[in-house]
Amino acid sequence: MLILLFAVLWGILLCLLLSAPFPYTPLFTVLFIISITVLVSAKKMLIINKKYIIYSVAVFIFSYILTCYVIFKPPSQDFINFGTISQNKRAVIFLCEGEMEKYTPYYTNYFLQDKPFYLKPIYSYRIKKIYSELEVNSKNNNLSLIARDVKSSILSYKPYYFYIAYLGYTPSLSDAITYAVNDGCSEIIIINYTSDNNLFEKTKKFVDYNKLTSNGISIKFSKSVQETGEFQQYITEKIINMPAKFDGIILLTKNSEVATIIKSHLNEHFRKDDIFLITDDLDYGINYFIKKQCSNILYVCLDESSSGIMTEYFYPKIALKYSDKIKIVGIKDWGYDKLLVKAAIKCFLENEK
Per-residue pLDDT reduced to its tens digit, 203-217: 988 898 999 999 999
Bigger pLDDT: 135 vs 224: 224
**143 within a domain of the structure (yes/no):** yes
Same domain, 184 and 293: no
pLDDT at 75: 72
Residue 21 has pLDDT above 90, yes or no: yes
Give residue-wise pLDDT tens across range 136-152.
899 999 999 999 999 99
pLDDT average, residue stretch 330-344: 96
Is 219:190 a contact under the CB 8 Å cutoff?
yes
Structural domain includes residue 124: yes
- Asked whether residue 41 is assigned to any structural domain, the reply reads yes
Instruction: Give the per-residue pLDDT at 157.
Output: 86
For residues 215 and 198, state if they share a domain: yes
Q: Look at residue 337 in the predicted model and tell me its pLDDT.
A: 95
State whether the Cα torsion 124-129-134-135 is positive or negative: positive
* Phi and psi at residue 331, to the nearest 5°: -95, 100
CB-based contacts of 40, cutoff 8 Å, min separation 6? none
Residue range of the domain that includes 289: 229-331
CATH number of the domain residue 138 falls in: 3.40.50.1400
Cα R_g (the chain), whole angstroms: 25
Q: What is the pTM of this model?
A: 0.89
Is residue 135 helix, strand or coil?
Answer: coil
Across 19-25, average pLDDT? 92
Number of domains in the chain: 3
Q: Is the pLDDT of residue 353 over 70?
A: no
Residues 159 and 124 in one domain: yes
pLDDT value of residue 77 = 67
Mean pLDDT of 151-175: 93
Phi-psi region of 249 (alpha: psi -120 to 50; beta: other; left: phi over 0): beta
Q: pLDDT per residue over 39-91, tens digit each?
A: 777 766 666 666 777 888 899 999 999 999 999 987 776 678 888 888 899 99
Same domain flag for 38 and 132: no
Span 223-252, mean pLDDT? 94
Distance CA 12, CA 17 (A): 9
Q: What is the pLDDT of residue 185?
A: 95
Q: Are residues 243 and 308 in the same domain?
A: yes
Both 9 and 136 in a single domain? no
